[in-house]
């Protein structure tokens, strides 16, 4: 008899195909399942019986299942709730987090992961609501747009840090939305009534950076004609967003590390230590790991900052978001007083296949330019070319760029091998496979199930290769 055999699960799902698959998978694990498709039936079940776990879809036959979780709580305050949702927006992820659900899975989900969550939930007591705080969700839309799987992972990570003050490191190319993520964490989290202070460490001259961050006393250096409060003190009670952290000079890195370790700062030229209460969100478009190896970024600072990593992939790797982002920016441009435009299908197709080196920022600029300059309200591919030039319709070449990069690295590696070795083929595969698996583990915080999913391989295969290649998966579980 399996450990799960005593556990009863209520499945609230109006899609019969999904329900059938879920029931089969959970019954295989020894759970006993009751299934219904509406909130009314759900509430009836909960009145009659107690369940160990409830799995629920959001959009049900008779309405929005998330908005009525109060009813569920009144019947079964301790029962963990797992949400499955096809509404893959930041709003749904945040509402799920607001309702303190045990786990939230955007559809399509990995059945194994859901079953694993049910197993964990059935063994876990529901966490006591820390503060009975209810985060207000603004109705006029979330700041971040996009429903690609990559953005859903971002939303899930955001919701995980809303109820704590863990330090977050946001990585991604320029223009991918790192600052917007920092703002979302601030606005949706418990510090929203405090200040949000952003500082771009790359834009400040090296000799002024400490004074900018920590402030200075009058006369601390030439030009310090009055006392000044630094960004840390300005952000007290709120969030400090440290942008372009990879460009911070060495001396400032050391001072920043000290401040983060002690929770105290000292103004330049000052004697007194001042306690600070800030949540740090740092961001960089640089790969900090090689910088650590090169000695240009402090390793201890990296681990201080990289408590919760959130990675924003470039727009060319989530092209499915381009449509919804374009619509979002067309509406935003109209709100900003520009004419309201529509994109014809051929224009949209051209945008979807374009090489967006400047990422979402570039897309936003292009949409604003189109809104301003188009002659007609409907913009087609021809108008697009007239306004943006030939480059507008040049499809993205990044896959090729990347392939070229891998090819070059491989060539260099092959030249370095001894021709007599006779094992070049297996060595080359291992040389390629190890960093690939390590990358997947690092992206998923050491979660082998997710890493296998990311790589598109079976998790047993992954586990086997981890052993064979001598990878230490624990090295990648950095989230506190
Ligand atoms: N997912 C998104 N939904 C809506 N707007 C977005 C999204 N991502 C980025 N943007 C918009 O794109 C622009 C660039 O975003 P942001 O400044 O956050 O990027 P960044 O990664 O911090 O860039 P940099 O590294 O250059 O500082 C902003 O106007 C932002 O509002």
Q: Which two tokens stand for residue 175?
A: 């223009």
Question: Which residue's alpha carbon is at the smallest distance from atom 13 of ligand 1?
Answer: 361
Give residue 426's pLDDT band: very low, low, confident or very high (50, 70, 90): low
One domain, residues 82 and 177:
no
CA 370 – CA 377 distance, rounded (Å): 10
One domain, residues 301 and 184:
yes
Percent of the chain, pLDDT > 90?
40
pLDDT at 334: 94
Q: In the predicted model, what is the mean pLDDT of residues 154-159? A: 88
Question: Which residue's alpha carbon is at the smallest distance from atom 16 of ligand 1?
Answer: 177
Q: Given 311, 337, 358, which residue is the final one in a domain?
A: 311
In a domain, 153, yes or no: no
Asked if 321 and 144 count as a contact pair (C-beta separation under 8 A), the reply is: no
CA 95 – CA 159 distance, rounded (Å): 9
One domain, residues 79 and 216:
no
Pocket test for ligand 1, best of 143, 175, 310, 332 (most atoms within 8 A of CB): 175
One domain, residues 195 and 220:
yes
Pocket test for ligand 1, best of 182, 199, 361 (most atoms within 8 A of CB): 361
In a domain, 155, yes or no: no
Q: In the predicted model, what is the mean pLDDT of residues 58-83? A: 84
Question: Which residue's alpha carbon is at the smallest distance from atom 9 of ligand 1?
Answer: 177
Question: Which residue's alpha carbon is at the smallest distance from atom 18 of ligand 1?
Answer: 177
Q: Given 352, 372, 393, which residue is the final one in a domain?
A: 393
Which candidate, 30, 32, 33, 34, places its Cα nearest to that of 1?
A: 30
| Residue 370 neighbours by CB under 8 Å, 6+ apart | 341, 343, 379, 383, 384, 387, 388
Domains contained in the chain, number: 4
In a domain, 149, yes or no: no
CATH (domain of 208): 3.40.50.300
Domain that holds residue 342: 318-393
**From ligand 1's centre to the CA of 312, what distance in Å?**
10
**From ligand 1's centre to the CA of 477, what distance in Å?**
28
Give residue 107's pLDDT band: very low, low, confident or very high (50, 70, 90): confident
CA 178 – CA 85 distance, rounded (Å): 25
Q: Given 123, 146, 169, which residue is the final one in a domain?
A: 123
Question: Which residue's alpha carbon is at the smallest distance from atom 30 of ligand 1?
Answer: 177
In a domain, 148, yes or no: no
One domain, residues 292 and 374:
no
Nearest-atom number in ligand 1 for the CA of 243 is 27
**From ligand 1's centre to the CA of 145, what distance in Å?**
10
Q: In the predicted model, what is the mean pLDDT of residues 337-343? A: 93
pLDDT at 140: 40
Which candidate, 247, 222, 242, places its Cα nearest to that of 232?
A: 242
pLDDT at 403: 42
Give residue ranges with CB within 6 A of ligand 1.
Answer: 144-146, 172, 174-180, 243, 285, 325, 328, 360-361, 364
pLDDT at 391: 57
pTM above 0.90, yes or no: no
pLDDT over threshold 60, residue 126: no
Q: Are strands 279-284 and 342-343 parallel, antiparallel or unpaired?
A: unpaired
pLDDT over threshold 90, residue 138: no
CA 477 – CA 480 distance, rounded (Å): 8
**From ligand 1's centre to the CA of 341, what distance in Å?**
22
pLDDT over threshold 60, residue 32: yes
One domain, residues 273 and 335:
no
CA 378 – CA 376 distance, rounded (Å): 5
One domain, residues 459 and 324:
no
Question: Which residue's alpha carbon is at the smallest distance from atom 26 of ligand 1?
Answer: 174
Q: Which two tokens stand for residue 374?
A: 């188009």
**From ligand 1's centre to the CA of 143, what distance in Å?**
10
CA 264 – CA 18 distance, rounded (Å): 52
In a domain, 435, yes or no: yes
CATH (domain of 461): 1.10.10.60
One domain, residues 214 and 302:
yes
Per the DSSP assignment, residues forming a β-bridge with 183 are: none
pLDDT over threshold 60, residue 253: yes
Q: In the predicted model, what is the mean pLDDT of residues 84-89? A: 79
In a domain, 345, yes or no: yes
Most confident of 1-15, 111-125, 447-461: 447-461
One domain, residues 386 and 326:
yes
251 or 427: which carries more pLDDT confidence?
Answer: 251
One domain, residues 246 and 263:
yes
Q: In the predicted model, what is the mean pLDDT of residues 309-322? A: 93
CATH (domain of 51): 3.40.50.2300
In a domain, 135, yes or no: no
One domain, residues 365 and 415:
no
**From ligand 1's centre to the CA of 325, what distance in Å?**
11
pLDDT at 390: 63
In a domain, 456, yes or no: yes
- Of 3-7, 177-181, 360-364, 373-377, the least confident: 3-7
| Residue 156 neighbours by CB under 8 Å, 6+ apart | 93, 104, 106
One domain, residues 9 and 101:
yes
CATH (domain of 376): 1.10.8.60
């Amino acid at each position: 008899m399996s450990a799960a055999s005593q556990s009863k699960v209520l499945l609230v799902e109006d899609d019969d195909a999904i329900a059938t698959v879920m029931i089969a998978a959970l019954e295989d694990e020894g759970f006993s399942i009751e299934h219904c498709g509406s909130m009314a039936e759900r509430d009836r079940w909960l009145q009659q019986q107690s369940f160990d776990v409830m799995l629920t879809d959001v959009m049900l036959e008779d309405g929005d299942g998330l908005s009525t979780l109060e009813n569920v709580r009144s019947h079964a305050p301790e029962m963990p709730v797992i949400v499955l949702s096809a509404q893959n927006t930041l709003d749904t992820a945040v509402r799920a987090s607001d309702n303190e659900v045990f786990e939230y899975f955007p559809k399509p989900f990995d059945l194994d992961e859901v079953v694993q969550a049910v197993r964990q939930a059935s063994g876990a007591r529901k966490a006591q609501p820390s503060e009975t705080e209810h985060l207000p969700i603004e109705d006029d839309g979330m700041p971040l747009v996009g429903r690609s799987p990559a953005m859903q992972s971002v939303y899930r990570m955001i919701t995980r840090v809303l109820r704590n003050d863990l330090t977050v490191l946001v990585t991604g190319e320029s223009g991918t939305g790192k600052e917007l993520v920092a703002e979302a964490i601030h606005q949706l989290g418990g510090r929203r009534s405090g200040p949000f202070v952003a500082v771009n460490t790359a834009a400040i001259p090296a000799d002024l950076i400490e004074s900018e961050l920590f402030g200075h006393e009058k006369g601390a250096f030439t030009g310090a004609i009055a006392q000044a409060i630094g960004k840390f003190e300005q952000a007290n009670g709120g969030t400090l967003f440290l942008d372009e952290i990879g460009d911070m000079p060495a001396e400032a890195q050391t001072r920043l590390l000290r401040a983060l370790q002690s929770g105290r700062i000292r103004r330049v030229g000052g004697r007194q230590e001042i306690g600070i209460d800030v949540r740090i969100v740092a961001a960089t478009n640089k790969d900090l790991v090689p910088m650590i190896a090169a000695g240009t970024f402090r390793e201890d600072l990296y681990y201080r900052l990289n408590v919760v990593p959130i990675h924003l992939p470039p727009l060319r790797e989530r092209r499915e978001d381009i449509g919804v982002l374009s619509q979002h920016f067309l509406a935003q441009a109209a709100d900003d007083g520009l004419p309201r435009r529509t994109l014809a299908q051929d224009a949209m197709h051209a945008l979807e296949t374009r090489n967006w080196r400047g990422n979402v920022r570039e897309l936003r600029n292009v949409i604003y330019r189109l809104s301003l300059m188009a002659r007609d309200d409907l913009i087609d591919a021809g108008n697009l070319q007239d306004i943006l030039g030939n480059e507008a319709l040049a499809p993205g070449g990044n896959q090729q760029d990347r392939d070229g990069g891998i090819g070059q690295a491989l060539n260099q590696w092959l030249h370095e091998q001894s021709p007599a070795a006779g094992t070049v083929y297996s060595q080359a595969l291992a040389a390629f496979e190890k960093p690939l698996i390590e990358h997947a583990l690092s992206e998923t915080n050491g979660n082998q199930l997710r890493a296998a999913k990311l790589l598109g391989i079976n998790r047993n295969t992954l586990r086997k290769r981890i052993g064979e290649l001598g990878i230490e998966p624990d090295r990648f579980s950095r989230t506190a």
